[in-house]
Amino acid sequence: MQAPVEASPTAALRAVRIQAPLVDSVSCYCRVDSGLKTVVGAKKFVPGAKICIQPDIQPNGPKPRNPRRDRSRTQAPLLPGLPDDLAISCLIRVPRVDHQNLRLVCRRWNRLLTGNYFYSLRKRLGMAEEWVYIIKRDREGKISWHAFDPIYQLWQPLPPVPVEYSEALGFGCAVLSGCYLYLFGGKDPLRGSMRRVVFYNARTNKWHRAPDMLRKRHFSGSCVINNCLYVAGGECEGIHRTLRSAEVYDPNKNRWNFVGEMADGMVPLIGVVYDGKWLLKGLDSHRHVVSEAYEPSTNSWSTVSDGMVNGWRNPSISLNGRLYSSDCRDGCKLRVYEDSTDSWSRFMDSKLHLGSSRSLEAAGFVSLNGKLAVIRNNMSISLVDVLNSGESVETNSAHLWEMISGKGQLKSFVSSLWSSIAGRNGLKSHIVHCQVLQV
């Protein structure tokens, strides 16, 4: 019987080579078998092989790293030697007057100080600062505006107003969310009444565009209730009657909607939100004094009591549940409305009256750090502590008044004196709007 012939080492090696896979661990899956249509199938056929790197096949392996995340791991900290959370805790304590300079340090600081997180954190921790913003019109009709820092008592530069409002008449002004100042409507000297709306972001120090109003109007009334902007009345170019329509802007929905119309069209002269209602007093198409009150919960207008209308003068403000009005031209004497008697009574007198000149005339009342601020055409600002005044302090109230800005006061007094002597009582410039923004 013939003994079996042993296979030679060469033949055995050849057999092993024939049974080995055609693709090694660094090859592409697509070389394994033309019948395999997916990378997963190829991976099952050749276990342990690496992921295919062909551009036309989407691997099922780990995703590449995010280059932005990798860059954030290697970028320099906000403050050397401190984690970013501690660095932010330091930066939010820097006074607002220095924020513009902080943005110039580096890109990371600029991104931080132009974002909502930084200023929301300042507000939540009670570090937000209130500045007074004043919009003025000069003798030539040009619009300019200025910001006042009450802490350092300095006037700060601001970017110019949009060109469409550089000479506009009768435009409205309001503040939403504490840091966005809106300008709306108005009458352009060339194009007439406008529907345009723009807003200024105090956090970024820039102007932006907002959706236009539904109706062209100028010299309209406006207020803010529940962070929604209400606009009513006014006039429209080409229409010889006052408007009755009213509309509201919701910043969350970023659109305008009509609300209930007033009973009588009017050009509002005074407006304030008091006791949950928007009170308006103005002139109708026949130049008769009319007044109405709007209640958002019912979307309806009603009449205002005669006692309130008769003694209601401009400027006025609703502060801490009470309605205050000026009792003299320079705003150094205040009146308060009493609901129980439906009448106005004398409230406070600074005993330091400035005069009756138009340059010293009180242009507006605003709430500043819990106090009533009286802003005059000569850019002087007085603070009145009405909270600590009691019910009525007709006497011994001078210590509750504080002058925090006297810019141009002496100059305006001398100018007014010479103008009176010369018979020229024209005002060189006057304040159109004044608001407070918190950042």
Could you write out the DSSP letters of every residue in 292-304?
EEEETTTTEEE--
pLDDT for 201: 95
- Of 101, 124, 147, the one marking the end of a domain is 124
Confidence of residue 419 (pLDDT cuts 50, 70, 90): very low
Q: Residue 94 falls within a domain, yes or no?
A: yes
Q: Do 242 and 221 form a contact (C-beta atoms < 8 A)? A: no
pLDDT in tens, 194-245: 999 999 999 999 999 999 999 999 999 999 999 999 999 999 987 667 999 9
> 414: left (phi > 0), else alpha (psi -120 to 50), else beta?
alpha
Q: Residue 99 falls within a domain, yes or no?
A: yes
pLDDT for 280: 97
pLDDT in tens, 301-328: 999 999 999 989 999 999 999 999 999 9
- pTM listed for this prediction: 0.79
Q: Residue 158 falls within a domain, yes or no?
A: no
Residue 13: pLDDT over 50 = no
Q: Residue 322 falls within a domain, yes or no?
A: no
Q: Residue 110 falls within a domain, yes or no?
A: yes
Q: Residue 432 falls within a domain, yes or no?
A: no
Confidence of residue 395 (pLDDT cuts 50, 70, 90): low
* Token representation of residue 228: 């929604």
Cα 375–chain centre separation: 21
Q: How many domains does the chain have?
A: 2
Confidence of residue 353 (pLDDT cuts 50, 70, 90): confident
Residue 71: pLDDT over 70 = no
Cβ–Cβ contacts within 10 Å for residue 53, how many?
A: 10
Residue 114 backbone dihedrals phi, psi, to 5 degrees: -110, 5
Mean pLDDT of 76-102: 93
Where in the sequence is the domain holding 85, given as residue range(s)? 80-124
Sign for the CA dihedral angle at 18, 20, 25, 29 comes to positive
* Amino acid in the structure at residue 106: C
pLDDT for 66: 59
Q: Residue 49 falls within a domain, yes or no?
A: yes
Let me know whether 39 and 86 are in one domain.
no
Let me know whether 12 and 47 are in one domain.
yes
Let me know whether 56 and 86 are in one domain.
no
Q: Domain holding 118: CATH number? A: 1.20.1280.50
Residue 122: pLDDT over 70 = yes
More confident: 435 or 310: 435
Let me know whether 11 and 48 are in one domain.
yes
Let me know whether 95 and 51 are in one domain.
no
Q: Which of 196, 300, 194, 211 is nearest to 249 (CA)?
A: 211
Q: Residue 218 falls within a domain, yes or no?
A: no
Q: Which of 43, 3, 2, 1 is nearest to 23 (CA)?
A: 43
